[in-house]
Amino acid sequence: MSRKDEILKKISHEILNDEEITELAWKELSLVVDVVDVVDVVDVVDVVDVVDVVDVVDVVDVVDVVEGTISQSGFAYTDDDIEPIVVDSFEFDDYVVELRDVIRVENQSPFKKMLIQMNSSTGKLKCDFEYEDNNRWLIGPNNFMQMKEDLRPNFNSK
């Protein structure tokens, strides 16, 4: 089994063992995972003072890049309802960041978003990745109802 497949198995395990998701008796689910690299400015005042005195290249010393900050949202589809879901697991987040590192192509940006879709009766898992568009699969108050349907898994298509 490849490292990628091992990590995907662990991600699936975390979803399948999440208490709140398990209680829903879902048939299918879709989960959008955003992975953001956050640049945290250590001290804004120091940055301004340093910029006045030295090259901008030296300013890098006063910022901290936090790789792989995770946010997620999705839906569990039951026989008669659609419920919002998230996976409540630090391990899940760690596995997503690890997968991101493992599948990253050298000299290219890592994925920004991951769409995970599962079917409980067939055990099928489908993953899709977004490398550029921050708005793809974006779920917000203005499109919440539409995204419930747009993200509904379709395991009949390729």
Backbone angles phi, psi at 64, to 5 degrees: -125, 125
Q: For 3-33, write each residue's pLDDT tens digit.
A: 999 999 999 999 999 999 999 999 999 999 9
The pLDDT > 70 percentage for the chain reads 79
- Please determine, for residue 158, whether its predicted confidence score (pLDDT) is greater than 70: no
The residue among 2 and 67 whose pLDDT is bigger is: 2
On whether the CB atoms of residues 124 and 109 are closer than 8 A, the answer is no
More confident residue, 50 or 115: 115
pLDDT level of residue 66 (50, 70, 90 thresholds): low
Q: Which of 108, 85, 96, 119 is nearest to 33 (CA)?
A: 96
CATH class for domain 3-150?
Answer: alpha beta
Task: Please give the average per-residue pLDDT across 118-131, as a whole number.
Answer: 95
